[in-house]
C-alpha cells in the first residue's frame, strides 16, 4: 500500500517535471493519482486509449466515490484509427417512472425527492458502457482491466484529504436536511491518509470481471439490487437491469476555425452548446481583439450563454424520444442571426430571450491520448456529489441521482438551476438531458486537444473556455485549466458565476452594467493540449482537486 502512495506522489512529481518534455508519445489527465497510475500502466504495457479508459473508469469507482462509479453513467468521445465515435452509457428512467413522480397532490415538486434517496436513481449504464467499449475497441483482456480496481477495493487505498472533507460535508448536509440515506454507514469510517477498504464493492467488481455485463445486469448482482430496491421503496427491477443498453451514436463533428471539434451529441446538451458558444463568439467578436476575462469578453460570452441556454431548455432531450433539431441549432445562418441580437452595450432582458428556432457538485472527467494518436475523452457521473447517497447493501456501490437531470416540472429548476419543459420530461426508459461534454479537437487530422470537466451546467463553460484559453489566448495546458473561469446560463437572471482572480475593475464594470456577480469555483478540467507541436497535460489544481496529469514518453 505504501508503494501505491509513493507512486501517487511520484505521479504528481512526474506531472510537474515532464510537462514540457520533448517528443511525448502519450498523455493522460486524470482526476486522481490512482487512475493516473493505472492508465499509465495500461498504456505502457501496450494497451490503447480505450483500454486505459476502461481500467481508469473502474478504478475511479473505488477511489473517487464522489463521482467515479459503476452505479451511474457517462459519455465517451473516441478518436480511434482515424475514425470518430461516441458511446452513450447514460442512465435511463426505470420502467415504473412517470412524468409526475416527483410532484405532490397539488402538483408541486417534493423537495429533494429527485435528488437524494432511492427514487432519485436512473438505471445505471456504466458497466454496459465499458463492456461495449471493450467489445469494439479493447485490446487487453477484460479481466486485466478490472484487476487494479478489484485490488484497490479489496486491499484498500489511501484516503486523500479532499475525499475525507467531501465525505464530512455530505454527511453534515444530509443530517441538516433530515435526509435518511445509508451513506454514513459505508463512508464515515474513511480517515485521511489511512487505508479504506470496500469488500462488498470488491465482490461486485469480481462478478463483473468474471461475467462481463451479466455480472452486473443479471445473476447475483441484479438480484441484490432489485431486492434492495423492493425492501427500500425503490422502483428499479431485474427487468430494468437486464434490458439496459448503452448506445453507439454519431458524435457531433463540426469545424471551428482550423479545428475539427468532435463532441457529445444528444442526450447531451454539451456538444451543441459548446459549438454554439464558440461559433457565436467568433461572430460577435468579428475583427475586434478581446483581452482574456475583460469586460467585453465576459459580457459577450454571457450574452451568448443566454441564447445557448434558452435553446437548451426548449429543444434538447433524449433523441430516441424527441426530435432534436441538431443541424438547425448549429446552422451558421441561424447562429449569425442570434449573434446579431447581441449588443456590446447592454444586457438583453432575460424574459425576452426566447428559444431561437422558428417552429418547424459531481461528475468526473478524464482525457487520454495513446502513442498511436488515438484519443478518449470520457465524462462519467452519478450526478450530485456521492449521487443519491444510497449504497446498494450487499453490492457496495453508490446509486446515482440522475433523475434530477430530468425536468420534474416545467419551469422548476433542478439542482444546477437548469430549466426544461416537455423535451426533457420523465418517460420510462428515456435518458435525462445532460451537460457532459467530453470533447476532442483535431487539427490536420491529428489529435490537438482532449478536454472535459464535471460541474453540471457549468461543464459547458469550463469546456468551451478551456478551448478558447488554449487556442484564442495561446495558454499552456496548465494555465488553460487554472485561469479563472466564469459562467452564465440565462437563469438566474443576469447572474455571472466566476472564480476569484478576475480583475476587480472588470467585475465592477460588469456589475455597473447590471450583472449580479457570484464568486464560486466550479469544474475540474482535465486537459491534454498541443503547444508548439508537443502534448501538454494538465489537471486543474487547488485544494478541492486531486488530479494528476502525465505526458508519457
Q: Which residues are catalytically annotated?
A: 363
| Distance between CA atoms of residues 433 and 147, nearest Å | 33
Among 329, 454, 475, 517, binds ligand DON (CB under 6 A): 454
Does 381 sit near ligand DON (CB under 6 A)? Answer: yes
Helix (H, G, I), strand (E, B) or coil at 369: strand
Bridge partners for 61 per DSSP: none
Q: Given the complex with ligand DON, which of 362 and 472 has the nearer CB atom?
A: 362
Does 436 sit near ligand DON (CB under 6 A)? Answer: yes
Does 78 sit near ligand DON (CB under 6 A)? Answer: no
Candidate segments 154-162, 179-187, 351-359, 450-458, binder of ligand DON by CB under 6 A? 450-458
| Distance between CA atoms of residues 312 and 116, nearest Å | 25
Dig out the grid coordinates for 211 from the structure: 461475467
Helix (H, G, I), strand (E, B) or coil at 64: coil
Q: 164: burial class by Cβ within 10 Å (0-12, 13-18, 19+)? A: middle
What does R_g of the chain's alpha carbons equal in angstroms? 22
Enumerate residues 349-368 that contact ligand DON by CB under 6 A: 361-363
Dig out the grid coordinates for 392 from the structure: 446498494
Torsions phi, psi for 549 (to 5 deg): -120, 140
Q: Output the smallest distance, CB 361 to ligand DON, in A.
A: 5
Q: Given the complex with ligand DON, which of 344 and 544 has the nearer CB atom?
A: 544
∠ CA 40-46-47, nearest 5°, is 70
Cell 461475467: give the residue: 211
Which parts of 45-80 fold into alpha helices (H)?
49-63
Among 204, 407, 435, 539, binds ligand DON (CB under 6 A): 435
| Distance between CA atoms of residues 71 and 64, nearest Å | 13
- H or E element in which residue 356 lies: none
Largest Cα–Cα separation, the chain? 65
Does 462 sit near ligand DON (CB under 6 A)? Answer: no
Indicate the annotated binding residues for L-glutamate: 90, 381-383, 405, 434-435, 456
Does 35 sit near ligand DON (CB under 6 A)? Answer: no
Does 405 sit near ligand DON (CB under 6 A)? Answer: yes
Dig out the grid coordinates for 406 from the structure: 430530468
Among 215, 271, 438, 456, binds ligand DON (CB under 6 A): 456
Q: Given the complex with ligand DON, which of 37 and 383 has the nearer CB atom?
A: 383
Candidate segments 284-292, 448-456, 499-507, 529-537, binder of ligand DON by CB under 6 A? 448-456
- Judged by CB under 6 A, how many residues of this single chain contact ligand DON? 14
Enumerate residues 385-404 that contact ligand DON by CB under 6 A: 402
Candidate segments 21-29, 422-430, 449-457, 541-549, binder of ligand DON by CB under 6 A? 449-457
Q: Given the complex with ligand DON, which of 47 and 73 has the nearer CB atom?
A: 73
Residues that bind ligand DON (CB under 6 A): 361-363, 381, 383, 402, 405, 434-436, 454-456, 459
Amino acid at each position: 500500500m505504501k508503494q501505491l502512495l509513493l507512486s501517487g506522489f511520484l505521479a504528481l512529481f512526474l506531472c510537474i517535471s515532464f510537462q514540457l518534455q520533448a517528443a511525448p508519445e502519450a498523455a493522460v489527465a486524470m482526476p486522481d493519482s490512482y487512475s493516473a497510475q493505472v492508465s499509465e500502466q495500461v498504456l505502457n504495457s501496450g494497451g490503447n486509449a480505450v483500454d486505459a479508459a476502461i481500467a481508469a473508469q473502474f478504478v475511479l469507482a473505488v477511489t473517487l466515490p464522489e463521482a467515479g462509479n459503476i452505479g451511474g453513467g457517462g459519455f465517451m468521445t473516441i478518436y480511434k484509427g482515424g475514425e470518430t465515435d461516441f458511446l452513450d452509457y447514460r442512465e435511463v428512467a426505470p420502467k415504473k417512472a412517470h412524468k409526475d413522480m416527483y410532484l405532490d397532490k397539488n402538483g408541486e415538486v417534493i423537495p429533494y425527492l429527485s435528488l437524494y434517496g432511492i427514487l432519485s436513481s436512473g438505471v445505471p449504464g456504466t458497466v454496459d458502457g465499458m463492456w461495449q467499449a471493450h467489445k469494439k475497441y479493447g485490446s487487453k483482456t477484460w479481466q486485466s482491466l478490472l484487476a487494479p480496481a478489484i485490488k484497490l477495493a479489496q486491499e484498500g487505498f489511501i484516503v486523500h484529504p479532499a475525499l475525507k472533507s467531501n465525505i464530512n460535508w455530505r454527511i453534515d448536509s444530509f443530517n441538516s436536511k433530515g435526509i435518511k440515506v445509508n451513506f454514513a454507514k459505508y463512508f464515515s469510517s474513511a480517515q485521511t491518509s489511512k487505508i479504506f477498504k470496500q469488500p462488498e464493492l470488491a465482490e461486485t467488481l469480481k462478478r463483473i470481471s468474471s461475467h462481463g455485463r451479466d455480472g452486473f445486469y443479471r445473476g447475483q448482482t441484479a438480484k441484490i439490487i432489485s431486492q434492495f430496491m423492493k425492501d427500500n421503496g425503490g422502483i428499479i427491477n431485474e427487468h430494468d437491469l437486464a434490458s439496459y443498453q448503452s448506445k453507439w451514436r454519431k458524435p457531433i463533428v463540426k469545424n471551428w476555425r482550423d479545428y475539427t471539434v468532435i463532441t457529445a451529441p444528444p442526450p447531451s446538451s454539451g456538444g451543441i452548446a459548446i459549438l454554439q458558444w464558440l461559433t457565436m463568439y467568433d461572430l460577435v467578436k468579428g475583427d475586434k481583439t478581446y483581452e482574456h476575462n475583460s469586460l467585453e469578453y465576459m459580457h459577450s460570452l454571457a450574452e451568448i450563454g443566454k441564447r445557448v441556454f434558452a435553446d437548451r431548455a426548449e429543444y434538447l432531450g433524449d433523441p430516441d424520444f424527441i426530435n432534436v433539431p441538431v443541424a438547425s441549432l448549429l446552422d451558421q445562418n441561424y447562429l449569425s442571426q442570434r449573434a446579431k441580437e447581441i449588443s456590446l452595450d447592454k444586457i438583453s432582458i432575460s424574459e425576452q430571450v426566447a428559444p431561437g428556432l422558428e417552429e418547424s457538485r459531481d461528475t468526473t472527467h478524464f482525457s487520454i491520448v495513446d502513442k498511436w494518436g488515438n484519443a478518449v475523452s470520457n465524462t462519467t457521473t452519478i450526478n450530485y456529489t456521492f449521487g443519491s447517497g444510497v449504497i446498494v447493501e450487499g453490492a457496495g456501490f453508490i446509486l446515482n441521482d440522475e433523475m434530477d437531470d430530468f425536468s420534474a416540472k416545467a419551469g422548476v429548476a433542478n439542482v444546477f438551476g437548469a430549466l426544461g419543459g416537455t423535451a426533457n420530461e420523465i418517460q420510462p426508459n428515456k435518458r435525462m438531458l445532460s451537460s457532459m461534454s467530453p470533447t476532442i479537437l483535431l487539427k490536420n487530422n491529428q489529435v490537438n486537444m482532449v478536454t472535459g470537466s464535471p460541474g453540471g451546467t457549468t461543464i459547458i463553460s469550463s469546456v468551451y473556455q478551456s478551448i478558447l484559453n488554449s487556442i484564442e489566448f495561446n495558454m499552456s495546458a496548465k494555465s488553460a485549466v487554472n485561469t479563472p473561469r466564469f459562467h452564465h446560463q440565462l437563469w438566474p437572471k443576469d447572474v455571472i458565476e466566476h472564480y476569484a482572480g478576475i480583475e476587480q475593475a472588470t467585475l465592477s464594470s460588469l456589475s455597473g452594467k447590471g450583472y449580479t456577480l457570484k464568486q464560486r469555483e466550479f469544474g475540474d478540467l482535465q486537459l491534454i493540449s498541443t503547444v508548439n507541436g508537443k502534448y501538454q497535460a494538465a489537471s486543474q489544481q487547488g485544494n478541492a482537486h486531486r488530479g494528476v496529469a502525465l505526458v508519457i514518453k
